[in-house]
């Protein structure tokens, strides 16, 4: 006959752990970067080159603005993305420059996009759905590609986002938002993306 | 290079790569490049960091949930055999055995490959057991992808990661939203039913997601003929169901903020009618049960520093129920018996790790961690005498203790084209001493779409408690002095992406030392065993065995694969091949039983679009390999095996979809001897071989709401 051990009592401890961790948990996981940042950079600049309005928007030089919030993950993602992005000397055959800026307000962002002729805005993790919606309203009618490191902001204000499904990166696009921000991809390119919703 | 040579090179490149580019094409090279980037697998197992497979410090392949669905795959073994590179499974007596790159160590219960589910180790400490058929007891409907990492991986994972590491990653709720149910039936008889749920919400203002699945898979197998053998006066053989299997399992994963909790409960009960004891006795079975809990919590302490805590605990037990009418199988004085072989293991631990990104840009990152584990193993064998109504327990053991693993990994990207990875892990086991497992890897992105890798790595496997302490007064001596097995490996990989296609070619060389083998006990060992009470006085030379660090293996060879997509991602295709030469060193330089030196697979699928189905074909070829478990020195090799799979799946509307799948094997014979007679005897001059099912057809329906 097998010797029976006294049952352990993990449930109470686990429940306590879950509650404690929930109380402490940040929003980081919802905003987590699912796709490696270097691959995001490769994908972003490959897909941006397929935007038919990029040459007109860039006016000779593609400017990418990496936008940060005051979170560890945002700063980390921004620096990693910049490290990968500066290696892309040409985007769509045009010279490419990269800037990092802390997000202050959507109005200031819209002004910067307009005056500096920013072609691509990269939203690092840390932006909320409310931030994305505010940014989208401010950029409405302009010509700029807004890209989110996480897919959750596509449909909330970002034109493009990155997702990881089955161990492979996916591009998620909001076609309505793309039209409103004068981003135009060919059907071949759209065929490679997941269209939101 | 002269002009004519350049022209010839260009022509050769066009001939070799042209079809791939055309398939991937869709017109513009830029679109094909984008498709290629989207096809690039992302792995997190090789360095515990998400990275593209091309940059990972190992040769890695990824089997996606889409691949599983398209090809009607219903087990890890099928996924490995038809869709992955470099590994294969061999259908064995009970559950399939697993090997890689020409090395398969028959009888190891999967303990030379580390199997993870969401990073949680499945190999238990009693015998390192990990299964790959339905007995793996992992709800496949919940699987997001499977990462197959070839080569030694002890640098981050410790024991058992010798042939490689397989990490099964389950789906996130966003990819499994709603309620899912499926029911499938197969001929010869099999069934599969599952129900799952995935949902996202918020609680206390925090994002929460839950995925869960309940799964049952069972088979009753075809009726197969087994040649009649006579053993100890008892007939063995005839016609019987191939095997019966019942596997219920449940898996749950909860994510709340940075906290992740997963739990698994599973049971596998297999008829063992053709393995031991009396033939086709329905009381002849084996059973495994698992209960696992895993908790992870990650916290960002600064932009440069992240810390992770991983707590885990597992319960596992195994019971083999083996009735035998042959007195020779039983204890002295028993005319017949029921042998009950039990193993119980419990283990739990805490792993604390930290990542320090020195430059905060991913170019110089240190990973450091420590894993403190407690494990306890108990095992015994009972000989029940149904006639006398008595039970005799032999050689029970109860062992336990702490182990500690500490690891350090440094990644360095001094230039955009160069990535270096160096790591080392120290494993400390009070009973086995210390073991150091290093790895060095360099990956260079040398030209457009091309990478070159060079990797040196080592791994080890601590001898299991079973190997050290199993004993039987009639036939087996314990071997508590076993040392860890070790392997060293060097490999080089060239990878080229051309549009949406990816080509890889790898060369490897491995040296295996101190492999644990079954060997006959010496007369001195037997005398000592009798004197110490470990063996019955009647134990004789030639009838008593033990485990020993008795084998060394050298292996070298090539891996190559090609995969890609085209026609707007509706066409997917791929092929892989492994060529190896593996030999035991010293003595007769013999080949490894059941270890194929040539094997590969190929697959293609096409989505007809809309409400039309996805059609998929896959093939697997395994070259000749020596029979396992035979004492016939002249036994012919198992024949080349070719297996074909075809699957059709499509939507019916309203969240309902259907699937039809079938497979067919060219050869009926396996690479395993069967029956009690394993050596020539009067009237028995050729080894009987375990027969395999030739075909199976499956139909199923699923609902996603």
Give the predicted TM-score (pTM) of the model.
0.91
Largest CA distance in chain A: 82
Of B204, B311, B205, B201, the residue nearest B260 (C-alpha): B311
pLDDT of residue A185: 93
Stretch among A11-15, B125-129, B434-438, B699-703 having the lowest mean pLDDT: A11-15
pLDDT of residue B610: 84
B64 and A166: CB-CB below 8 Å?
A: yes
CA distance B53 to chain A (A): 10
Question: Is B622 an 8 Å CB contact of chain A?
Answer: no
CA distance B2 to chain A (A): 31
**Under 8 Å between Cβ of B594 and B106:** yes
DSSP letter for each residue of A33-64 = --S-HHHHHHHHHHHHTT-TTHHHHHTTSEEE
Give the CA angle between residues A85, A91, A92 to the nearest 5°: 160
- Burial annotation B412-426 (CB, 10 A radius, 16+ → b, else e): ebeeeeebbbbbbbb
Give the CA angle between residues B27, B29, B35 to the nearest 5°: 95
**Chain B environment of A73 (Cβ under 8 Å):** 300, 303
Q: Which of residues 192-221 of B touch A (CB under 8 A)?
A: 203-204, 206-208
* Placement of tokens 């004197």 in the chain: B531
Q: Which stretches in chain A have pLDDT values below 70? A: 1-33
Q: Which of residues 297-336 of B touch A (CB under 8 A)?
A: 297-304, 313
Of B145, B342, B361, the CB nearest to A2: B342
**Chain A environment of B261 (Cβ under 8 Å):** 14, 18
Q: Please give the span between the terminal C-alpha atoms of chain B, in angstroms, as a whole number.
A: 62
Q: In this structure, which long-range contacts are made by residues B517-521, counting pairs with CB atoms below 8 Å and at least 24 apart in sequence?
A: B517/B547, B517/B548, B517/B549, B517/B550, B517/B551, B518/B107, B518/B545, B518/B546, B518/B547, B519/B545, B519/B546, B519/B547, B519/B548, B519/B550, B520/B544, B520/B545, B521/B477, B521/B545, B521/B546
pLDDT of residue B587: 58
A21 and B52: CB-CB below 8 Å?
A: no
Q: Which of residues 66-95 of A touch B (CB under 8 A)?
A: 71-73, 75-76, 79-80, 82-83, 87
> Is the pLDDT assigned to residue B42 strictly greater than 90?
yes
Question: Is B144 an 8 Å CB contact of chain A?
Answer: yes
Task: Identify the burial level of B350 via C-beta atoms within 10 angstroms of its C-beta, where 0-12 means exposed, 13-18 middle and 19 or more buried.
Answer: middle
For residue B357, give the chain A residue with the closest CA. A76
For residues B327-335, average pLDDT: 84
CA distance A74 to chain B (A): 8
Q: Who contacts B664 (Cβ-Cβ below 8 Å, separation ≥6)?
A: B643, B644, B694, B695
Confidence of residue B218 (pLDDT cuts 50, 70, 90): very high
For residues B297-318, average pLDDT: 95
CA distance A114 to chain B (A): 28
Bridge-based pairing state of the strands A120-123 and A90-91:
unpaired
B27 and A188: CB-CB below 8 Å?
A: yes
C-alpha distance from residue B256 to each of B119, B559, B677 (Å): 18, 41, 57
Q: Which of residues 521-580 of B touch A (CB under 8 A)?
A: 568-569
For residues B408-418, average pLDDT: 94
Crossing angle (nearest 10°) for helices B29-39 and B3-25: 70
pLDDT of residue A32: 54
For residues B428-432, average pLDDT: 87
pLDDT of residue A28: 36
C-alpha distance from residue B366 to each of A73, B304, B358 (Å): 17, 10, 8
pLDDT of residue B275: 65
Pairwise CA distance, residues B190 & B247, whole Å: 11
Pairwise CA distance, residues A142 & A110, whole Å: 8
* Placement of tokens 């109860």 in the chain: B398
> Is the pLDDT assigned to residue B332 strictly greater than 90?
no
Confidence of residue B203 (pLDDT cuts 50, 70, 90): confident
Q: What is the pLDDT of residues B231-284, one digit of tens each?
A: 777 788 888 877 789 999 999 999 998 899 999 999 999 987 666 667 888 888
Helices (H) and strands (E) in chain B, counts: 7, 36
**Under 8 Å between Cβ of A124 and A68:** yes
pLDDT of residue B16: 41
Where on the phi/psi map is residue B107: left (φ > 0), alpha (ψ -120 to 50), or beta?
left
Confidence of residue B620 (pLDDT cuts 50, 70, 90): very high
pLDDT of residue B26: 36
**Under 8 Å between Cβ of B326 and B344:** no
Crossing angle (nearest 10°) for helices A72-85 and A37-48: 50
pLDDT of residue B589: 67
For residues B151-163, average pLDDT: 96
Give chain B's length: 705
Gyration radius (Cα) of chain A, Å:
20
Interface predicted TM-score of the whole assembly (ipTM), two decimals: 0.85
> Is the pLDDT assigned to residue B87 strictly greater than 70?
yes
Where on the phi/psi map is residue B389: left (φ > 0), alpha (ψ -120 to 50), or beta?
left
Of B37, B204, B568, the CB nearest to A22: B204
pLDDT of residue A20: 44
CA distance A65 to chain B (A): 17
Eight-class DSSP state of B41: B
Q: Who contacts B531 (Cβ-Cβ below 8 Å, separation ≥6)?
A: none
Of A72, A196, A159, the residue nearest A124 (C-alpha): A72
pLDDT of residue B28: 58
pLDDT of residue B394: 87
Where on the phi/psi map is residue B128: left (φ > 0), alpha (ψ -120 to 50), or beta?
left
Q: How many CB atoms lie within 10 A of CB A3?
A: 9
* Placement of tokens 């998400």 in the chain: B50
**Chain B environment of A80 (Cβ under 8 Å):** 360-362
pLDDT of residue A121: 97
C-alpha distance from residue A82 to each of A40, B12, B51, B434, B689 (Å): 11, 39, 17, 42, 61
| Three-state secondary structure call for residue B305 | strand
> Is the pLDDT assigned to residue B73 strictly greater than 90?
yes
pLDDT of residue B167: 97
pLDDT of residue B274: 63
Q: What is the pLDDT of residues B544-572, one digit of tens each?
A: 999 999 889 999 999 999 999 988 889 99
CA distance B50 to chain A (A): 6
C-alpha distance from residue A181 to each of A48, A95, B587 (Å): 13, 22, 74
> Is the pLDDT assigned to residue B406 strictly greater than 60?
yes
**Chain B environment of A170 (Cβ under 8 Å):** 38
Token representation of residue B384: 């029940």
Write phi, then psi, for B140 (nearest 5 degrees).
-70, -25
Question: Is B140 an 8 Å CB contact of chain A?
Answer: no
Of B257, B357, B361, the CB nearest to A21: B257
Question: Which of A2, A16, A166 to probe by mutation at the B interface, max B CB count within 10 Å?
Answer: A166
Stretch among B325-329, B367-371, B587-591 having the lowest mean pLDDT: B587-591
**Under 8 Å between Cβ of A88 and A64:** no
CA distance A167 to chain B (A): 5
Q: What is the pLDDT of residues B92-143, one digit of tens each?
A: 888 899 999 999 999 899 999 999 999 999 999 999 999 999 999 999 999 9
B362 and A37: CB-CB below 8 Å?
A: yes
pLDDT of residue B272: 76
> Is the pLDDT assigned to residue B4 strictly greater than 60?
no
Of A71, A76, A191, the CB nearest to B357: A76
pLDDT of residue B27: 39
DSSP letter for each residue of B121-169 = E---TTT-----SGGG---GGGEEEEEEEES--HHHH-TT-SSEEEEEE
Q: What is the pLDDT of residues B471-515, one digit of tens each?
A: 888 889 999 999 999 999 999 999 999 989 999 999 999 999 999
Stretch among A168-172, B283-287, B696-700 having the lowest mean pLDDT: B283-287
A30 and B27: CB-CB below 8 Å?
A: no
For residue A81, give the chain B residue with the closest CA. B361
What integer best gives the mean pLDDT of chain B? Answer: 91
Pairwise CA distance, residues B517 & B514, whole Å: 9
């Amino acid at each position: 006959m097998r010797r029976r051990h006294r049952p352990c009592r993990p449930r109470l401890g686990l429940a306590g752990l879950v509650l404690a961790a929930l109380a402490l948990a940040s929003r980081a996981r919802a905003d987590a970067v699912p796709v490696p940042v270097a691959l995001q950079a490769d994908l972003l600049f490959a897909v941006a080159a397929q935007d038919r309005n990029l040459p007109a928007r860039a006016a000779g030089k593609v400017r990418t603005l990496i936008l940060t919030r005051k979170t560890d993950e945002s700063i980390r993602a921004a620096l990693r993305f910049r490290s990968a992005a500066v290696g892309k000397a040409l985007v769509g055959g045009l010279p490419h420059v990269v800037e990092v800026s802390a997000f202050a307000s959507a109005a200031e962002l819209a002004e910067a996009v307009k005056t500096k002729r920013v072609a691509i805005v990269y939203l690092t993790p840390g932006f909320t759905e409310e931030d994305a919606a505010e940014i989208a309203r401010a950029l409405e009618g302009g010509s700029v590609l807004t890209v989110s490191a996480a897919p959750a902001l596509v449909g909330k204000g970002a034109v493009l986002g990155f997702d990881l499904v089955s161990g492979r990166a996916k591009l998620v696009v909001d076609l309505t938002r793309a039209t409103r921000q004068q981003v135009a991809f060919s059907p071949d390119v759209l065929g490679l993306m997941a269209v939101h919703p | 290079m002269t002009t004519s040579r350049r022209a010839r090179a260009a022509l050769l490149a066009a001939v070799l790569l042209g079809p791939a580019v055309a398939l991937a094409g869709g017109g513009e090279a830029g679109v094909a490049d984008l498709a290629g980037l989207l096809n690039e697998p992302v792995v997190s197992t090789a360095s515990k960091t998400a990275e593209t497979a091309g940059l990972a410090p190992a040769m890695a392949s990824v089997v996606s949930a889409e691949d599983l669905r398209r090809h009607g795959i219903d087990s890890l073994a099928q996924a490995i055999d038809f869709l992955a590179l470099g590994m294969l499974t061999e259908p064995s007596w009970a559950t399939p055995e697993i090997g890689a790159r020409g090395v398969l160590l028959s009888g190891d219960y999967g303990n030379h490959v580390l199997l993870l589910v969401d990073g949680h180790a499945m190999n238990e400490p009693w015998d390192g057991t990990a299964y790959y058929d339905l007995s793996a007891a992992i709800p496949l409907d919940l699987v997001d992808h499977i990462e197959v990492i070839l080569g030694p991986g002890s640098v981050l994972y410790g024991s058992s990661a010798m042939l490689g590491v397989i990490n099964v990653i389950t789906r996130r709720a966003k990819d499994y939203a709603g309620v899912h149910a499926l029911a499938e039936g197969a001929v010869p008889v099999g069934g599969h039913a599952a129900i799952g749920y995935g949902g996202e919400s918020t609680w206390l203002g925090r994002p929460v997601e839950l995925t869960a699945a309940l799964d049952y898979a069972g088979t009753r197998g075809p009726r197969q003929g087994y040649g009649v053998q006579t053993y100890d006066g008892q007939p063995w053989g005839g016609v019987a169901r191939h095997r019966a299997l019942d596997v219920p399992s449940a898996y749950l994963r909860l994510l709340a903020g940075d906290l992740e909790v997963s739990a698994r409960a599973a049971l596998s009960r297999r008829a063992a009618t053709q393995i031991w004891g009396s033939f086709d006795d329905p009381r002849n079975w084996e059973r495994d049960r698992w209960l696992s809990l895993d908790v992870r919590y990650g916290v960002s302490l600064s932009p440069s520093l992240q810390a992770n805590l991983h707590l885990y605990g597992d319960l596992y037990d195994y019971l083999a129920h083996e009735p035998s009418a042959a007195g020779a199988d039983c204890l002295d004085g028993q005319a017949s018996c029921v042998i009950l072989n039990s193993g119980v293991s419990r283990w739990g631990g805490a792993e604390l790790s930290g990542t320090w990104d020195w430059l905060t840009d991913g170019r110089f990152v240190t990973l450091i961690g420590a894993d403190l584990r407690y494990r306890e193993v108990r095992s015994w064998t009972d000989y029940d005498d149904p006639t006398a109504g008595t039970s005799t327990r032999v050689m029970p053991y109860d062992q336990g203790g702490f182990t500690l693993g500490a690891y350090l990994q440094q990644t360095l990207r001094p230039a955009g084209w160069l990535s270096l990875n160096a790591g080392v892990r120290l494993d400390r086991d009070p009973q086995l001493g210390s073991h150091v497992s290093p790895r060095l890897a360099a990956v260079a992105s040398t030209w457009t779409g091309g990478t070159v890798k060079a990797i040196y790595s080592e791994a080890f496997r601590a001898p299991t408690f079973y190997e050290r302490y199993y004993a039987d007064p009639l036939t087996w001596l314990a071997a508590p002095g076993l040392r860890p097995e070790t392997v060293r490996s060097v490999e080089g990989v060239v990878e080229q992406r051309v549009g949406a296609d990816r080509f890889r070619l790898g060369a490897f060389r491995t040296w295996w030392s101190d492999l644990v083998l079954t060997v006959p006990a010496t007369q001195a060992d037997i005398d000592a065993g009798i004197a110490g009470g470990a063996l019955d006085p009647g134990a004789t030379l030639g009838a008593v065995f033990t485990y020993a660090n008795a084998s060394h293996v050298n292996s070298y060879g090539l891996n190559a694969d090609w995969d890609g997509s085209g026609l707007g991602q509706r066409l997917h295709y791929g092929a892989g091949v492994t060529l190896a030469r593996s030999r035991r060193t010293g003595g007769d330089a013999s080949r490894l039983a059941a270890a194929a030196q040539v094997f590969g697979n190929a697959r293609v699928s096409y989505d007809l679009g809309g409400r039309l189905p996805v059609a998929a074909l896959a093939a697997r070829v395994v070259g000749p390999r020596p029979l396992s478990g035979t004492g016939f020195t002249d036994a012919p090799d198992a024949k080349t095996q070719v297996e074909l799979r075809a699957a059709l799946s499509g939507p019916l509307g309203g969240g309902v979809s259907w699937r039809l799948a079938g497979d067919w094997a060219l050869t009926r014979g396996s690479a395993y001897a069967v029956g009690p007679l394993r050596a020539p005897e009067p009237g028995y001059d050729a080894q009987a071989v375990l027969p395999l099912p030739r075909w199976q057809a499956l139909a199923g329906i699923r609902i996603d709401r």
